[in-house]
Structure 1
Amino acid sequence: MKVILCLLYALLFAWPTGNATAHALDPGYLEIRQIASGTWSVHWRKPDVNGKPMSIDAVLPDGCTPARGPDPVSDSKAWVSSWVVECRAGIAGQPIEIEGLAVQNNDVLVRLHPLQAEPTTLRFTPDTSVQNIPSEQTTWSVFIAYFQLGFEHILEGWDHLLFVFALFILVRDPWRLVGAVTAFTLAHSITLALATFGVLNVPGPPVEAVIALSIVFLAMEIVKGGEGRSRLSKQKPWIVCFGFGLLHGLGFAGALADIGLPANDIPAALLAFNLGVEAGQLSFVGSLAVLVIAWRSVALPISQTATLATAYGIGSVSMYWFIERINGF
């Protein structure tokens, strides 16, 4: 029993507490917009890492002067810089490098806006820190980029994962669990789309605080369910998850607004991002199920005491986040 409790608490408290956000959707962003023949304006946004800009830099093609921008300044969320470059020839087919990205656990979106061509979106990762600018881009390439973005970054949203983890403990029936996770994704897809199109505009800090409370609620439901009570969250978890999903979608919207969406492919990008989120959530749930099955095959079943101890751990971490975010108003 002590071994089980130690493992569960290690999983819980390995997650960061300070400066935790609802969704760690914070890649770098580089926008290159043509303003005249041979002239481009550049906007470069670096993620913040403990109060300093991430150690990456955008390097434009050799024919562009200057190839690097000035030192960035903080806008309280990230580090930004803007400048104008002169490029001697067309930049299609020329390489762009995100220097230093290979040693970072992040990615960078690059958006190019030529005067006489459709905008192009590129996604740079640690494995692909140098790419050639394509002459044109398809909707399919936008779809792939935003699907990967949604999949990867949902797995870095610590309190979102904690919500799904609590849901996994609460809902024991596999099909009900999958239905609840899907309802959650459907709901935050709705509010994400409404916020993207300007229908909803809710301040971020209160949303982040209430998201932390949603995890506290699930922790309480786990505890009360252990007392033998029949709970709506267990009988019809998709109802609860749909309601909280609407809230979590607003958290996604604030983060996605910092990145932006390709103007000509907003529906495809939104659909791809949400499908990526769903795939990431189901992958996380599947990994938890495999771990539980493996544990039960070599050891005793997880006891009710361990479940309750985990619920109290989830509630404690979530309350810490809630208080931290209230103090940050």
Structure 2
Amino acid sequence: MMQALLTAVALVLLFLAGGEAHAHALQPGYLELTPASGERWRVIWKVPVVAGAPMAIEAVLPESCDARRPPQARFEGNAYISVWQARCAGGIAGGLVTIDGLEDTRTDVLVRYEATPGQAASIRLTPLEPGVTLPQRMGRAGVFRTYLLLGIDHILKGVDHLMFVFALILLIRDRRRLVGAVTAFTAAHSVSLGAASLGWIVVPAPPVEAVVALSIMFLAAEIVRPAGAGLRLSERHPWAVSFAFGLLHGLGFARALLDIGLPSGDIPLALLAFNLGVEVGQLLFIMAVLLAGYLLARLDPAAIRTLGRPGSLGRGSVGYLLGGIAAVWFVGRVAAF
């Protein structure tokens, strides 16, 4: 049973790591409509890459527009991008925007638009809802729902963030201290997320992503530390460690939110909803891990005790696996500078 448990953990983590390596296939599409002049609108359409080619999805503008479909796209780093102008008689408010082919994918598309110049709004389209009639202005309930779901979606697709939380769960066995560490992590990334999203802190994305990978390597080193080597830093000061790294992870969350954009006039609400979404997703993940641990403990209590014992083979194997994956990410992200 112990060998089966280690194999299952390894397969799950390797699958997640492979998900990041091929993250382009899971990245959302992006459609932006901004006023140009008169009844003309500037359109930007970004399509994720799958197996070296653009994903088979296509944006279709409202019927009132004269150039409803994108022209030939060009490849730019991690997506295929089309930029054009369309004349939409009477504006785009009340018009139907659809994403052809989205229903056959596992991704989603973020639509950011300005029905009125300077009044930006964002709507998330999914395979179950591949089209939307653009409202003149999103109500506060619509803003809250959109950014809440975006936060949940972002954290559940953020493999590196989830691996950090998983390492915390494995490392801190005392429930009270674990709750304190997770709370500190939450408070820290809430602060840095808000500060970076509002432009108070400006940090380039590549260094932040590299340090996020480094934070996983640090926890992995704590996990594999042999028994009898004294208390780990994360055991002596779990809240301080979680808070420090939480600030860095919050900068990573902010990068996603900056790419999405914040709705004019509802920035505080959107920030709150996105952050709550991140927390909901994080809690769902923690509950899933604890439930899996509970079920495994019922099947083989000795296996769970082994994972919790410092210096054990099972604990060391998982720690080295986490650290190895994070090290590969760290080298790749530093090379991307």
TM over 0.5: yes
- The one-letter code matched in structure 2 to 1:16 is A
Return 254-263 or 5-14, whichever deviates more. 254-263
Contact between 1:142 and 1:268, CA under 8 Å: does it hold in 2?
Answer: yes
- Indicate how the Cα distance of structure 1 residues 321 and 165 shifts in structure 2: closer, same or farther if over 3 A, else same: same
Q: For 2:281 and 2:191, locate their aligned partners in 1 and report how far apart those are by CA, in whole Å.
A: 18
Instruction: Say if 2:60 is the partner of 1:52.
Output: no
Distance 1:4 1:31 in 2: 46
1:26 to partner: Cα distance: 4.1
3-state DSSP of counterpart to 1:159? helix
1:327 and 2:335 aligned: yes
Q: 1:88 is matched with which residue?
A: 89
- The change in CA–CA distance for 1:61 and 1:38 in structure 2 (over 3 A counts) is same
Alignment correspondent of 1:34: 35
**Shift in alpha-carbon separation, 1:254–1:147, aligned structure 2, 3 A:** same
Alpha-carbon separation, structure 1, partners of 2:92 and 2:336: 44
Show the counterpart of 2:12.
11
Identity, % of aligned positions: 46
Query: Using the alignment, how far apart are the partners of 2:78 and 2:251 within structure 1?
Result: 17
TM-score (norm 1): 0.91
SS in 2 for 1:263: coil
The answer to whether the 8 A contact 1:45-1:78 is kept is: yes
Paired letter, 2:286: V
Q: Are residues 1:185 and 2:186 paired?
A: yes
Q: CA deviation at 1:51?
A: 4.2
Q: Which range moves more in the overlay, 139-148 or 247-256?
A: 247-256
**Secondary structure in 1 matching 2:77:** coil
Write out per-residue CA displacement over residues 296-321 of structure 1, whole angstroms, 9 at most, x where no aligned residue: 11223321321221111111111111
Gap change, CA 1:277 and 1:44, over 3 Å in 2 = same
Between the two proteins, the alignment pairs up a number of residues equal to 329
SS at match of 2:157: coil
In the other structure, the counterpart of 2:250 is 249
Kindly indicate whether residue 277 of structure 2 is the aligned counterpart of residue 269 of structure 1. Answer: no
Q: Any conservation in 2 of the 1:25–1:154 contact (CA below 8 Å)?
A: no
Aligned to 2:42, what secondary structure does the other structure show? strand
Listed as ranges, the gaps of 5+ residues in structure 1 are none
Aligned twin of 1:231: 232
What SS does the corresponding residue of 2:31 show, helix, strand or coil? strand
Provide closer, same or farther for how the CA distance between residues 298 and 115 of structure 1 changes in structure 2, counting only shifts above 3 A.
Answer: closer
Query: Is contact 1:142–1:269 with CA below 8 Å preserved after alignment?
Result: yes
Q: Which moved more, 1:120-129 or 1:222-231?
A: 222-231
User: Does the aligned pair in 2 maintain the 1:186–1:242 contact within 8 Å?
Assistant: yes
Partner of 2:319: 311
**C-alpha RMSD of matched pairs (Å):** 2.5
Q: Equivalent residue of 1:254, what SS?
A: helix
Which residues of structure 2 form unaligned runs of 5+?
307-311
- What residue is the counterpart of 1:150 in the other structure? 151
